[in-house]
Amino acid sequence: MLYDVIVVGLGPGGATAAYELASRGFNVLAFDKENFPRYKPCGGCLSLKVEKILPVDFKHVVEDTAYGAVFTFKSKRPLPILSQRPVGYNVSRSRFDNLLKEKAKEAGVCIRTGERALGVEEEKDCVRVKTSAGTYGAKVLIGADGANSIIAREVLGLKPSRCAVALEAELPLNGERLAALKGRLLIDFGCIPHGYAWVFPKDKSISAGIAGVSQKVKGRIKECFRDFVSREEALAGLDIKNVHGWTIPYYYNAGQRIAKGRILAVGDAARLVDPFLGEGIYYAIRSGQIAAAIIAERIRRDDAPDMTSYHEVVAAELYPDLNAAAKLGRLVYNFPRLWYNMLESEPSLMESYYDVVRGDNRYEGFYSDLMARIKARPWRLLTRWLKKGVQRV
């Protein structure tokens, strides 16, 4: 049997693409190496941008609504910057991802879980995918198989070496201690090279984690995590075990190729991860939607669909903000103390950034505004930053 589309991977990007295509009447096969629901290491905070684009009602799996964050520098100098409006939703990825997978199934997608992709071969009239259970053919293939995507690596030539590394533990918590954390995120700068640590409250637990650019961390991720855990008051006395690690394939190259012939990649497989925040769920969902629209149009028009236009649409819509996020990341993570001092002196900057994660502003606009503020008073601002940095070493 020749399918219209095969989707490899059923995370948010793959499940969304499969759902959108099946809803348009296409014959879709989707599989994932894991059985669902499955544990997925991740902080699990959805930006409000997700709510604006996802047609699926996911509010029943939201475990906490964040109205801002309490920022710290090396677990000191707590700086709460809260908003009147939500900025994010904390979810368990096992429940959220399973919800999207089930919606795809309801739309008519043929779902196969516990089946791993082993190889891909593009032929004249189709794409063949070999898995641990068999071989399948389709007119188009979507690679949604995450950070270690076999499709991105072997077909599209995307290099996995440029990435961030992360560790995370889900810790049971309840009562007054959990209640004190509800409604806000805890984010710590300065605890790891080119990255940050977090504590995100859930329904009956918290996610405690840390992430930083691999080339900067240089194998010290466990040490940085232990140091953060030992200092962070919110984690005092908790038995932290079952720590999980993963890689974050952040966006870094506008020249990367995410489509070739009948094959394309979405989400983490396409390296569509915010290089400042490390958030990839929005970009996975949005790229899955773009992929579905392009594939539907191309299959209906042409028996030999070429996915080049998918790359062009993604580059036009998503790359400008990802490029601006990369610039912001270089500024913040190269000078975390100075950035923190700026937040202390001008907390309104963070409210402006909250509008970015809400989808009410673009990264480009926020970064331009930030640089305009710095250029408007460079010496006075820099002097204030440096004085605070010296006083609080």
Q: What is the CATH number of the domain that holds 212?
A: 3.30.9.10
Query: Is residue 325 in a domain?
Result: no
Dist. CA 226–CA 368, nearest whole Å? 36
113 shares a domain with 39: yes
The reported pLDDT for the residue numbered 393 is 35
- Which residue type does 219 have? G
The structural domain count of the chain equals 3
- β-pair type (88-91, 62-66): antiparallel
Q: Mind listing the pLDDT tens digit of every residue in the chain (393 residues)? A: 899 999 999 999 999 999 999 999 999 999 999 999 999 988 899 999 999 999 899 999 999 999 999 999 999 999 999 999 999 999 999 999 999 999 999 999 999 999 999 999 988 889 999 999 999 999 999 999 998 898 888 888 887 678 999 999 999 999 999 999 999 999 999 999 999 999 999 999 999 999 999 999 999 999 999 999 999 999 999 989 889 999 999 998 878 889 999 999 999 999 999 999 999 999 999 999 999 999 999 988 876 678 889 999 999 999 999 999 999 999 999 989 888 888 988 899 999 999 999 999 999 999 998 888 777 766 566 666 555 544 443
Burial of 291 (0-12, 13-18, 19+ CB in 10 A): buried
Among candidates 141, 132, 151, 107, which has minimal Cα distance to 35?
132
CA-to-CA dists, residue 388 to 30, 80, 372, angstroms = 54, 18, 22
Domain contains 150: yes
Please check whether residue 326 lies inside any domain of the structure: no
pTM for the predicted model, two decimal places: 0.93
210 lies in the same domain as 140: no
* Domain membership flag for residue 360: yes
Q: Are residues 78 and 104 in the same domain?
A: no
Residue range(s) defining the domain that contains residue 349: 333-391
